[in-house]
Structure 1
Amino acid sequence: MLSSRVPRDYTPNPLAVLLQEKRAAGRPILDLTVTNPTSVGLPTLSVRALAAIADPEGARYEPDPRGRREAREAIAAYYAARGTPAGGIDPARIFLTASTSEAYAHLFRLLCDPEDEVLVPRPSYPLLAPLARLEGTHLRQYRLAYDGRWALDLDSLEAAIGPKTRAVVLIEPNNPTGSCLSPTERAAVESICAERGITIISDEVFGDFPWPPRPEVLPSWSDERRVATFVLGGISKLCGLPQMKLGWIAASGPEGAMRDALSGLEWIADLFLSVGTPVQVALPRLLEERAGFQSAVRERIDANLTILRGPAGKRGARSPAEDDDPPFLLLEGEGGWSAVLRFMRPAAAAGSESVAEWALRSRDVLLHPGHFYDLPGEDDVVVSLLTPPAQMAEAALRIRDGWR
């Protein structure tokens, strides 16, 4: 009765079962996986922002497949403020969506026939696979490798390209690794795509959250490109407002390629018209007020990275001799809300279970296992840098004390 695109097995994994048992027993859990900015004590909507959402203009319905012009101009101004060269992004090349997930879906529909392929990084966010499956698109992976820093394996990228490859997805910074491509890697990717006629999709939802001591702004693909390029953004991360449901696609590239792409994207967007008017009306104000939220997030990221680089762990670029047998290594990144920890040796108490299962069972600490993201190490885990620092510090101590 159901299509093959829908899963048949919804059996919870062992970690989820253990978590249910712990919560049913009333055990307090130190949850290091929460990335919902509205539930971790960060600044919320101001009175002025709430007033903008309640603006009477939001009661009018004047549908535009690309989204309200004033909202798109505010997004273009945001990119200009980030330093996008060549006059910034033309608002006519911006399309509003209800989420980044919808932006991916629109682009898969635009670029791919059934069975066509899109290349995605490994590791990366697990949501990409079901999104592609729903659109009948196949994903192929290229490798990111860690050796003191995350680097693109260009050989694996070129090997993954086939006759049905339509696009390469870049996630800048990557979720969960926090990595960005180097200038040399960016140039190589663009050259490969230009030679093969492949489109670039750059997911930059975490682009405003560099890890210190890096510059305020991480690299973007939003300037004029040699190939058709679609940059994804949204206020879920940019402003900490996932409940407002507004993202976007910003397009750049050669005029000829863009003409057909923009027409096709407009046709697709017109079928859905999914973004509510009130949030479109409020968007200029919401973007104006992003600084307070972003400052609080950066402070929290800094505090949590300091904890993870402290006595319980060590930095990925440092020598193991600098610390006294720490339980995990922080794999260094450049930005974003997540961090990868690589555990240094098996815990005597862990036996055959995963690090994440051991941490939850014996220390009441919830971590995301690395295999959720296709991380290479058996003992890799992922933590949220939005975690309140006191909670992160307590969890790190519990893990250190239990790992001995």
Structure 2
Amino acid sequence: MFANRTNWNLKQNEIADRLQALKALGTPVFDLSESNPTECRFEYLNETILDPLNMVANLKYAPDPKGMLGTRKIVEDYYRQNGIFVDSSQIFLTSSSSEAYSFLFRLLANPGDNILVPRPSYPLFHFLADLNDVELKTYPLIYDHDWHIGTEHLISSCNEKTKAIILVNPNNPTGSFLKAKELEKIVEFAESSLIALISDEVFFDYPFNANCERVSLAKIKTTPTFTLNGISKAFGLPQMKLGWIVANGPRSFLNMASERLEMILDTYLPVSTPVQNCMKTWVAQREIIQKEILARTNKNRLFLHSLLSKPHPASLLNSEGGWYAILKVPKIKTENEWVLTFLEEDHVYVHPGFFFDFEAEAYIVVSLLPIPEVFEEGMKRILKRISETAKH
């Protein structure tokens, strides 16, 4: 009786089973997969975040499909501070990036059309594609001391049914920012092929080095582009549920896309009034919030570098930003076996590389958000385990 698009394998995997069993026994687990900032003891998460919720304006409902103009003006100003000039009419508010993806898939693709996504990247893409009846195709991110997009493979993977190319900038979990030369080549191809570009820039404000090369698609006007961001990452407030789409491109396209996208949003009216009213207060705290999160991710990453400064069977892959780190581990075990070993023997939980659709083994992915005491003890345990296992 259910739609074929929901015919997923819903059986819990072995790793999740083991983690659940340990928690049921009351066994403390060092969770190095934790990427929810509200679970990581940040000081910015205090009652001042809640203050603007207590305002009379939140009792009034005056829906605007694109979102309140005042809130969109705040997003407009966010880009202006980064030297990117977009108009509030180009901004569409959503409750999340996932919802934004769904709206854009509905806008751009018919059932059976395809959309390109990077590999490795979010596991979420597969579910979003299924729910919107589109085919997912991948293009590689190639690691050679640094990450770069396999642009030739990307171009050759497109066909007449390709409606959009998704760029995750910086990518998650590789932490690699889109480079100007890559963007130039991709924009040129997209423009000539009438393919839209969707840029997910939720981690854009989190470079490990403020001077690293970063380019946003929000400023591209020569070809259809949609840039996604939101307060989940930019303000460290995933519980407040507010994201946005910045549409750009040639004027004729922009007019038609805006009309259709506005109708889609008018059908759902996804964003609550209180969260939009709160933006004026929260945006004033954005710099403080990002500074605290960046201090945490940099501290944990530097600690990881220090642990691996001497020869070790594991190695840390280079990255430029975001909230994750990737370790290459010996192939003497599969990723699944490594993760289970860390759980069962060391009570440390990490993501296997296959969770992010890595093409080859063996990699593990750790979050840089946990408090230093948790991160440091967890990393010491798994690196010791790797070293001891590799000796035998």
TM range (shorter): over 0.9
In the TM superposition, residue 383 of structure 1 has moved relative to its aligned partner by: 0.7
**1:33 corresponds to 2:33:** yes
Deviation at 1:216, TM superposition (A): 8.0
SS in 2 for 1:230: strand
Of 100, 110, 115, 1:103 maps to 100
Contact 1:214/1:334 (8 A) holds in 2: no
Distance 1:8 1:175 in 2: 23
Aligned to 2:273: 277
* Aligned equivalent of 1:151: 148
Aligned match of 2:348: 365
Partner of 2:112: 115
Residue equivalent to 1:383: 366
Q: Which residue of 2 aligns with 1:298?
A: 294
Q: 1:295 to 1:216 in 2, by over 3 A?
A: farther
1:191 is aligned to 2:188: yes
Compute the displacement of 1:48 (Å): 4.7
Please tell me whether the aligned partners of residues 97 and 274 of structure 1 are also in contact (alpha carbons under 8 angstroms): yes
- The CA RMSD over aligned residues, in Å, is 1.6
**Residue 235 of structure 1: which of 228, 231, 240 is its match?**
231
Counterparts in 2 of 1:116-265, with a 5 A limit? 116-211=113-208, 213-215=209-211, 218-265=214-261
Q: How many Å apart are 1:353 and its aligned residue?
A: 5.2
User: What is the CA deviation profile of residues 150-200 of structure 1, one whole-angstrom value per residue up to 9, with x for unaligned ones?
Assistant: 011112101210110000000001111101122111101101101101100
Post-superposition offset of 1:56: 1.0
Instruction: Indicate how the Cα distance of structure 1 residues 295 and 217 shifts in structure 2: closer, same or farther if over 3 A, else same.
Output: farther
Higher helix share: 2
> Of the candidates 319, 329, 347, which is equivalent to residue 343 of structure 1?
329
| Distance in 2, Cα, partners of 1:295 & 1:255 | 37
Q: Distance in 2 between matches of 1:285 and 1:204?
A: 22
Secondary structure of 1:286's counterpart equals: helix
Once residues 328 and 297 of structure 1 are traced to their aligned partners in structure 2, the CA distance between those partners, rounded to angstroms, is 26
Q: Does the 8 Å CA contact 2:177/2:213 hold for their aligned counterparts?
A: no
The residue aligned with 2:313 is: 327
Q: Which TM-score applies when normalising by structure 2?
A: 0.95
The Cα of 1:27 is off from its aligned counterpart by 1.6
* Aligned 8 A contact 2:168 2:199 in 1: yes
Unaligned runs of 5+ in 1: 315-322
Aligned residue in 2 for 1:320: none
Q: 2:263 matched to 1:267?
A: yes
- Paired position in structure 2 for 1:21: 21
| Contact in 2 for aligned 1:354/1:379 (Cα 8 Å) | no
Give the conservation status (yes or no) of the 8 Å contact 1:98–1:275: yes
Superposed CA offset, 1:32-67 (max 9, x none): 001111110113455554232222111111111100
The 8 Å contact of residues 208 and 217 in structure 1, kept in 2 or not, is answered as no
Q: Deviation of residue 144 (structure 1)?
A: 0.4
Whether the 8 Å contact between 1:117 and 1:137 is mirrored in structure 2 is: yes
Q: Which amino acid aligns with 1:290?
A: R
**Offset from partner CA, 1:319-377 (integer Å, 9 cap, x none):** xxxx32x132111111111111111453xxx5895221221121111010000111133
SS of aligned partner of 1:226: coil
2:7 corresponding residue in structure 1: 7
Query: Does the aligned pair in 2 maintain the 1:43–1:292 contact within 8 Å?
Result: no
| Count of aligned residue pairs for this structure pair | 387
Distance, in Å, in 2 between the alignment partners of 1:35 and 1:115 is: 33
Determine the C-alpha separation between the residues in 2 that align with 1:335 and 1:344.
25
Instruction: Please say if residues 33 and 366 of structure 2, whose CA atoms lie closer than 8 Å, have aligned partners that are also in contact.
Output: yes
Unaligned runs of 5+ in 2: none
CA distance in 2, matches of 1:97, 1:118: 21
d(CA) in 2 for partners of 1:392, 1:337:
13
**Aligned sequence identity (%):** 38
Cα distance in 2 for partners of 1:80, 1:271 equals 30
CA shift, 1:92, in A, is 0.5
For residue 134 of structure 1, report the CA deviation from its aligned partner.
Answer: 0.4
AA in 1 matched with 2:282: L
Is the 2:348–2:378 contact (alpha carbons within 8 Å) kept by the matching residues of 1?
yes
Residue 50 of structure 2 is aligned to residue 50 of structure 1 = yes
- For the 8 Å contact 2:38–2:45, the answer to whether it is kept is no
